């Protein structure tokens, strides 16, 4: 059988690495991408221990040419894409009153524009992989702030809401071809990105990266006629509607 292949952005650590580990353990071949080549190579070495192929493509999500190069590299390497995992993202806090517009522009570039370019650029390969009877999935790591607002996360939440909306409309256009998108919207996950709040929320009370990876893997197991537009993953207790 032909091995399945996935392209994962932000794949060197955190949620992206957790998803990569889950897919590698299931026998997938991978392309992982992030900005730092050294960390990517270290992660790739660990993933290859599962016995699969892992391509490493450093890319900055603010660089359109780099995104195009990433798309070409994955397609050339594998000729298929069973799952595009759009995980690379940027998180910045700040109130509406004094949030710099230039910072909002960069948030939009990384969290919305880059995913759009990836989804658009990989679409021919996703369609070809799905074929007439199969399925291919786009998995976008959004945020619970796309669904439930948090103070001082107006700009961040807006970009993540845009990403979730993009998945919804993508499904209207592409799901009939066997290609569907799911936005996974977790609360605080125990990663480096959440380090700033671990004084108030202990790491062991945050969502584990492996739990997000479990949802992502479950999405890849869905068939052509099962479309999951969104999955909200929250923490227990009185945090159900908060990050």
Which domain does 226 fall in, by range?
A: 5-239
pLDDT in tens, the chain (243 residues): 589 999 999 999 999 999 999 999 999 999 999 999 999 999 999 999 999 999 999 999 999 999 999 999 999 999 999 999 999 999 999 999 999 999 999 999 999 999 999 999 999 999 999 999 999 999 999 999 999 999 999 999 999 999 999 999 999 999 999 999 999 999 999 988 888 888 888 898 899 999 999 999 999 999 999 999 999 999 998 888 888
Residue 199, exposed/middle/buried by CB under 10 A (0-12, 13-18, 19+)? exposed
Cβ pair 187, 174 in contact under 8 A:
no
Quick one: CA torsion of 167, 159, 32, 40, rounded to 10 degrees?
A: -170
pTM of this prediction?
A: 0.96
* Structure confidence at residue 215 (pLDDT): 98
Angle (CA) 129-132-136 rounded to 5° is 35
**Whether the Cβ atoms of residue 91 and residue 193 lie closer than 8 Å to each other:** yes
Q: Assign 111 to helix, strand or coil.
A: helix
Catalytic residues: 156
- CATH label of the domain that carries residue 186: 3.40.50.720
Q: What is the DSSP letter of 189?
A: B
* Count: domains in the chain: 1
- The strands making up 83-86's β-sheet, listed across from edge to edge, are 54-56, 29-33, 5-9, 83-86, 136-141, 179-186, 230-233
Q: Calculate Rg over the CA atoms of the chain.
A: 17
SS3 content of the chain, % helix, strand, coil (to 5): 50, 15, 35
* CA distance linking residue 9 with residue 41, whole number of Å: 14
């Amino acid at each position: 059988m032909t091995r399945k292949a996935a392209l994962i952005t932000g794949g060197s650590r955190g949620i992206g690495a957790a998803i990569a580990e889950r897919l590698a353990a299931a026998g997938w071949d991978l392309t992982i991408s992030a900005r730092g080549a050294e960390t990517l190579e270290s992660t790739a070495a660990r993933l290859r221990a599962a016995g699969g192929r892992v391509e490493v493509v450093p890319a900055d999500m603010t660089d359109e040419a780099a995104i195009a190069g990433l798309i070409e590299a994955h397609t050339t390497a594998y000729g298929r894409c069973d799952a595009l995992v759009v995980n690379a993202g940027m998180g910045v806090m700040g109130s509406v009153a004094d949030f710099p517009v230039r910072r909002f522009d960069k948030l939009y570039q990384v969290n919305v524009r880059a995913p759009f370019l990836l989804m658009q650029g990989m679409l021919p390969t996703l369609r070809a992989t799905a074929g007439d009877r199969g399925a291919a999935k786009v998995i976008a790591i959004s945020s619970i702030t796309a669904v439930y607002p948090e103070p001082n996360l107006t700009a961040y939440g807006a970009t993540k809401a845009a990403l979730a909306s993009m998945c919804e409309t993508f499904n209207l256009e592409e799901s009939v071809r066997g290609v569907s998108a799911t936005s996974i919207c977790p609360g605080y996950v125990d990663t480096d990105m959440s380090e700033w709040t671990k004084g108030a929320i202990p790491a062991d009370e945050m969502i584990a990266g492996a739990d997000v990876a479990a949802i992502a893997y479950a999405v890849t197991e869905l068939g052509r006629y099962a479309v999951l537009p969104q999955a909200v993953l929250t923490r227990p207790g009185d945090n159900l509607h908060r990050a």
